[in-house]
Amino acid sequence: MLPKKRIVLFFLLGFFFHITSGFAQKTQYYWYRAIAAIENEDLNVAKVWLDSAIIQNPKNADYLLKLGEVYFLEEDFESALGVFQQVEKQKAGIASLWLAKTYALQGEKSKAIEELKRHLGTSEKKPEAEILLDPAFDILKISIEWTELWKNEYYSINDKFLAEVAYLFSRNNLNEIVDALSVRIEKSRTNHRLFALRGEAFFKLGSFKSAEADFSEAIKRSKRNPTYYEWRAKCRFNLKQYKGALKDINEAISLSEGNPKYLIIRAEAFSGMGNYADAAIDVKVYLTFYPNNIKSHLQLAHISFESSNYLDALFALGKVIRSGNANADCYELRGIIYTKSENWELAQADFTKAIEMEPKRAKALGLRGEMLIKQGKAQLGCVDLKKAIELGNFTAQELFYKHCRK
**For 213-229, what is each residue's pLDDT tens digit?**
999 999 999 999 999 99
How confident is the model at residue 213, as a pLDDT? Answer: 98
Task: Please state, in angstroms and as integers, the Cα–Cα distance from residue 59 to each residue in 47, 67, 314, 320, following that order.
Answer: 17, 14, 46, 41
Buried b (16+ CB within 10 A) or exposed e, 309-329: bbebbbebbebbbeeeebebb
Q: What is the DSSP letter of 125?
A: P
Contact (CB, 8 A) for 381 and 395: no
How confident is the model at residue 82, as a pLDDT? Answer: 97
How confident is the model at residue 27, as a pLDDT? Answer: 87
Say which CATH superfamily domain 156-259 falls into.
Tetratricopeptide repeat domain (1.25.40.10)
How confident is the model at residue 189, as a pLDDT? Answer: 87
- What gap in Å lies between CA 339 and CA 331, rounded to an integer? 12
* Annotated domain spans of the chain: 156-259
Question: Is the four-CA dihedral 386, 388, 391, 397 of positive or negative sign?
Answer: negative
How confident is the model at residue 405, as a pLDDT? Answer: 77
- What gap in Å lies between CA 395 and CA 406, rounded to an integer? 19
Enumerate residue ranges in the chain where pLDDT < 70: 1-24, 406
How confident is the model at residue 2, as a pLDDT? Answer: 38
- What gap in Å lies between CA 104 and CA 264, rounded to an integer? 39
**For 19-56, what is each residue's pLDDT tens digit?**
444 444 788 999 999 999 999 999 999 999 999 999 99
